[in-house]
Amino acid sequence: MATATFGAGCFWGVEVTFRRTQGVTDAVVGYMGGTVPNPTYEQVCTGRTGHAEVVQVSYDPAVVTYDALLEVFWGCHDPTQVNRQGPDVGTQYRSVIFCHDDDQRARAEASRARLDEWGVYRAPIATAIEPAGTFWPAEPYHQRYLEKRGLADPVEWL
């Protein structure tokens, strides 16, 4: 098993997207990239902790590659937005790839550069690529949030 961590705005829809990806064995919503240990949702929402809402993905590399997960990441949000996704505004909603090793970093950087070079988006990609730090799982009520409410169909939240 391997781990990948992505921030792409509000973590609820991103979690559903990754859970539906073949080879993903788990997706947990939480926080990464900040300075406050064990932050709460309320603290992260202030924008003062430095954390991003993220999804930590456990996956089987024999079934799905990290490059394929990057494709899912690029496709599930607008990576040209700075500190926002749709109506959600703040640094906690930033587009970010947290890399767990040098190989992930190299693949993420190459992927971002390739998409920018090809002009896939109408604006330059704003996604940050950073080393993974401590992952703090979000509160239990955030886990599988859309699924628990019968809203896990991607059409419901796009």
Confidence of residue 154 (pLDDT cuts 50, 70, 90): low
Rounded to 10 deg, the angle between the 66-75 and 11-19 helix axes is 140
* Beta carbons of 144 and 11 less than 8 angstroms apart: no
Of 156, 93, 103, the C-alpha closest to 132 is: 103
Residue recorded with tokens 């500190």: 83
Instruction: State pLDDT tens for residues 94-141.
Output: 999 999 999 999 999 999 999 999 988 989 999 999 999 999 999 999
Residue recorded with tokens 């587009």: 95
What CATH code is assigned to 2-157?
A: 3.30.1060.10
Question: Can you read off the two tokens belonging to residue 58?
Answer: 């456990």
Give 138's contacts (C-beta < 8 A, 6+ positions apart): 11, 28, 29, 30, 31, 41, 53
**Would you state the pLDDT for residue 157?**
41
Q: How far apart are the first and last CA of the chain?
A: 30
Q: What is the DSSP letter of 138?
A: P
Which 3 state secondary structure label does DSSP give 54? Answer: strand
Of 82, 69, 70, 74, the C-alpha closest to 25 is: 69
Residues noted as catalytic? 10
